[in-house]
Structure 1
């Protein structure tokens, strides 16, 4: 164990917490770990981690404390039970949640005299610490600056700003887009199977089409930010017709249209309000209540 490395604590040893602890151990950091189920710490103990008996003991042992528990309620419960130990610590919370969750824990940390940084991880656990891993952070700029090079052990880090909920704001928006894309893929696979086409046959063509489509998202983004939907390349009326055709085809093949109807309803609302010639991007106004 190197003696020039700062002590680090990892709270929570699920799939993410385990690999986070391993990354710091590999770099020679004295690493203390705690998990509600102590058995999960055994493999890390064999690699040199110190296993604390309580969360408070673990937090007291580390200058940098990373929280990687299941969900925000678990994070609040663990930290509130160790309130006396967090003063003066740098808390980096990698637990997924909403922007309000991050703001709530940040406010609590300030009251306890701790500095708070929220992180959102963009990686599967197996890629933590590799070039395929990246993290967004928001909250205490001091914590990010002080610990940036150590946090980079987990992946490429980007500091978004001092508002604690900002990293989560990006995170839930990105994940909403991801799940929407997965829903579209599953619907496409079901339609292909109904037509006697294998998903593995369909996917290369779908990926090629989507790759060509992705630049349009940047155009849509500018239109949404400017609230200027005068672009004519992909009108609401044209997409309303296209969606109606796909829905008819799905129903004819016996494939439920539950993934398509929500988008069709957003488009229908805009066309009914007289915006059929506007860009498809204007459908976002239906989500925002813009009419």
Structure 2
């Protein structure tokens, strides 16, 4: 199958590699041409515009940062290029955003589906993806077949927007787990908590800490499975979603502020575990190496 991938950050690149490994023909687009060089070396075709990727044939996967970026990319494509397109959104979007974008695309003759990605880039590359799909019944077979070819689990949550609803509890666990791990790491850094205490008592209670705390202590943020800025967008979306549901958002706003501080300190493109730096800003930590 011919597949176009718009956006070749950590997730988009992983999808492109997985599709190539599965034997598909892959066309890629990114605003920064240097970010597609590795994919081209693996056999992908690079095009200069989103419209060219959209009209390359087959289906299109879009993996950009958030709903605003998704809308900007799609709004920049002529309606003629969108007509008849089958598009799968892998960007982080709110339920309201994805529903509005889907309605706009439908008016231009395109069909939008959404996928929630519940693993990191390495698992996607290795065909171990776990996906929640939101798609019309008409397109479910198309997207389920494509994702099954590069994943271990594909679960249809319902129509467009339903995958975003279904993933919200998962996103809460990611956010709270990572922020909690940062606070654990801060205490460990101060008190030098023995490893056996962490392994016996802390890690069973907070599994995310088992991986995140050593990474935070080593300040090893270079390999970003999901960046600080991606988590910041996730936290901002969570604030908006919970406010829309009538829930208090104080805690979520505080977490969003933590990611914002880490981003302002220069760690926006680093792995989300660099949120730990937001707790160290007042201590003027040493410059990050690498």
Same fold (TM over 0.5): yes
CA separation in 2, counterparts of 1:286 and 1:78?
32
Alignment of 1:41-190 (within 5 A): 41-82=36-77, 83-130=79-126, 132-155=128-151, 156-162=153-159, 164-190=160-186
CA separation in 2, counterparts of 1:191 and 1:62?
53
Residue of 21, 25, 30 corresponding to 1:30 = 25
What stretches of structure 1 of length at least 5 have no aligned partner? 1-5, 212-284
Q: State the Cα deviation string for residues 221-273 of structure 1 (Å, max 9, x = none).
A: xxxxxxxxxxxxxxxxxxxxxxxxxxxxxxxxxxxxxxxxxxxxxxxxxxxxx
TM-score (norm 1): 0.65
Q: Please report the RMSD computed on the Cα atoms of aligned residues, expressed in angstroms.
A: 2.4
CA separation in 1, counterparts of 2:248 and 2:196?
34
Q: Measured at CA, do residues 131 and 154 of structure 1 come closer, stay the same or move farther in structure 2, by a change above 3 Å?
A: closer
Contact 1:32–1:58 at 8 Å: present in 2 too? yes
What stretches of structure 2 of length at least 5 have no aligned partner? 208-245, 250-290
Q: State the Cα deviation string for residues 150-209 of structure 1 (Å, max 9, x = none).
A: 2223322111111x2221122233111222233333434444565552356314322334
Aligned residues: 209
Residue aligning to 1:274: none
Residue aligning to 1:7: 2
CA separation in 2, counterparts of 1:25 and 1:137?
21
CA separation in 2, counterparts of 1:131 and 1:39?
25
State the secondary structure of the residue aligned to 1:137. strand
Give the greater-gyration-radius structure (CA). Answer: 1
CA separation in 2, counterparts of 1:9 and 1:196?
49
Cα distance, 1:138 vs. partner? 0.8
Contact 1:136–1:157 at 8 Å: present in 2 too? yes
State the secondary structure of the residue aligned to 1:158. strand
Contact 2:128–2:150 at 8 Å: present in 1 too? no
Bigger CA drift: 201-210 or 142-151?
201-210
Contact 1:193–1:199 at 8 Å: present in 2 too? no
TM-score (norm 2): 0.65
